[in-house]
Structure formats: C-alpha cells, structure tokens
Structure 1
Amino acid sequence: MKRMQMVFYVYVLLGALAIMAGCNANNANNAEKKDEQLALIKRTDPDPVTLVSHNKEEEPISDLDKTVESFNEIYDVAAIRGKNETLIVYKVKHMHRFRMKEIEKEINSKLEKRYPDENFVVSSDYKIFLEAVKLGNKMKDPNYSKKKANDELDKIIKLKEKLT
C-alpha cells in the first residue's frame, strides 16, 4: 500500500512539474510582448536597422538616429532604412506634445539638409513607433528574410500615410 502511495505522489509531482514547465514557456512569449507594449511608455533605445546593403558613401543609420536624438524635445528614436525610404519614428517628451507638428517639420528639414539624397518618412505616432520596434525585433531573427522586412516596412509607411 505504501508503494502505491509513493507512486501516486511521484506522478502528481511529475504532473505539477510538467504544468509549470508549460506555463514557463508561455511566460517567455508574454515577456517579449510585454516589452513591446512597454515601448510606448518607457525609453527603449531600439537599435537602428538597415534592410538594404549599405553603400560606402551613405551615412551609417546610427548617425541619422543621433541627429534626431539631438533635439531636446525627443527622448526615444527608432530608425529603419529600407530600399527607397528611411523611416524615422520618435517619442516626444510630454511637455512638448503640443508642438508635435512643429517638431516634425524641424526634424524633417534638418534631415533633408543633412542627407539630401535620402527620402525620409518621419513620424511621432506611437502606433508607428511600436510597429517599428516590432520590425526591429523581428530582424534580430536570422531566419527573417529581408524581403519580408521590406514588405513590413512598406506596410508601416502606408499605415503612417493613412493616419495623416
């Protein structure tokens, strides 16, 4: 009888461990999604992403990122360089949100002066920022193709145009 109880407890313990292991795998996915959701609230400093091969005479995309971050009104920037266009998304400090259109014009003019050969899509929209962060996270996966990434970037740019 004692042996039967011992076997029962071992099975219960193994079952509990299996359930906890399954929940833990789900929590890893939830943690990644939670980080993406927190990108709207906290500073994330996403790495700039280049989806096309980098020409020698082109400025590194990190320089674009630093150019936009030089504005005092901005606290977070994501930059993605695609085939035809470069997406620059940023978050504006709360006290400067009433000047968002003016800030966007200033950023656009500064980028156009400094990098006249590039086409920029500039946005302060949180949804666009979140989509850019998601794309940057997808690009960290070596199995994610450049073609899919460019298609995703085109969708983000179309979404930006739709919102304005």
Structure 2
Amino acid sequence: MKIKYFCMALLLMTALMGCNQNESNESELALIKKTNPSPLLIKNNSRNEFDLVKSIEKDIESIKELYDVAVVKGKDDTLVAYKVKHLQRFHMKKIEKKMKKMLEEKYPDEKFTVSSDYKIFLEAVKLNEKMKDPNYSEEKASKRLKEIIKLKNEMA
C-alpha cells in the first residue's frame, strides 16, 4: 500500500515539475548546448561602444578552445563569461591567462572580469534575456551586472 502511494506521489511531482516553465528556453539550455548570446551593452548605447563589444566577442570566439561566449559591458566593467570545450578543461588556467593577456593588450582602457564558471555564464545569459524586456531598466541591469561580478569575485 505504501509503495502505491509513493509511486502516485512521485508521478504527481514529475507531472508538476514538467509544467513549470518559468524560464525561457535559452537560459534553460545554456549549460547544455551552445547558446551564442548576443553581446550586451547596458550603458552608453553608442555605435562605438557596440562595435567595441562586438569586437571583444569576436576576439574571444577566435580562441579555438572555447565554444560559447557571453559578453556584457556595463558602465565600468565588462564581463566575459565563456565555456571551454570538454577536452580542453585540463588547460583552463592556461586558456584564461592567454585570454586575459590578449584582452588587456588589445583593450587597455577596459576593465575585464573573465569567468569560465557555468553559474556566471548562466547569469549573463539570463541578464541578456531580461534586457530584451522593455520594462527592465538600465539601472536594474547595471545593478545585476555588479552582483554577478561580485559573485564571481567571491567564488575566486
């Protein structure tokens, strides 16, 4: 009798979890597949700034050990979150060092926060999705970017 109730409860929980569709598909699948989020510019929506962010993304994507990149530029900081190909995970420190050196040489005026952590990548993708909503303000986005960078720094 207990097994019967347990099976019914398990079936009910599975059905309810299947109905939970709070997040969009892109953020749900961001850790499993390549999402290729567009670069995000929170403040100073000038053409030069947008070109800078696109250039940063292109440079990072050119690194052959990576397969997905999210770039978010705020007023002061630029967050670069990336995913490393599975077999390259043994060389993560070397990859990050190479990336930081390239970014600092090519963009000396920018302050970068670089992360290969999946949590940071996922938060960057979620922020990108929230910015598509016209009701989501730049102040909220800027505050959220600072929280993500703080989270990254606490993890290190």
Cα distance in 2, alignment partners of residues 56 and 30 from structure 1: 36
Cα distance in 1, alignment partners of residues 93 and 131 from structure 2: 30
Q: 2:107 aligns with which of 93, 102, 115?
A: 115
Cα distance in 1, alignment partners of residues 124 and 48 from structure 2: 25
One-letter code of the match for 1:87? L
Cα distance in 2, alignment partners of residues 55 and 141 from structure 1: 20
Match runs of 1:1-164 below 5 Å: 30=21, 32-55=23-46, 58=49, 59-164=51-156
Cα distance in 2, alignment partners of residues 34 and 136 from structure 1: 13
Q: Deviations over 1:51-105 (max 9, x none)?
A: 1114565542111101000000000000000011000000000000011111111
Gaps of 5+ in 1: 1-25
Give the SS at the match of 2:21.
helix
Gaps of 5+ in 2: 1-17
Percentage identity across paired residues of the two chains: 52
Cα distance in 1, alignment partners of residues 93 and 74 from structure 2: 24
After TM superposition, give the deviation of residue 33 of structure 1 in Å.
4.0
Give the SS at the match of 2:79.
strand
TM-score under structure 1 length normalisation: 0.79
Compare CA radii of gyration and give the structure with the larger one.
1
Stretch of structure 1 that moved more, 98-107 or 85-94? 98-107
Cα distance in 1, alignment partners of residues 26 and 70 from structure 2: 15
One-letter code of the match for 1:71? I
One-letter code of the match for 2:135? N
One-letter code of the match for 1:44? T
One-letter code of the match for 1:147? E
Give the SS at the match of 1:30.
coil
TM-score under structure 2 length normalisation: 0.83
Q: How many residues align?
A: 138
RMSD of aligned C-alpha atoms?
A: 1.8
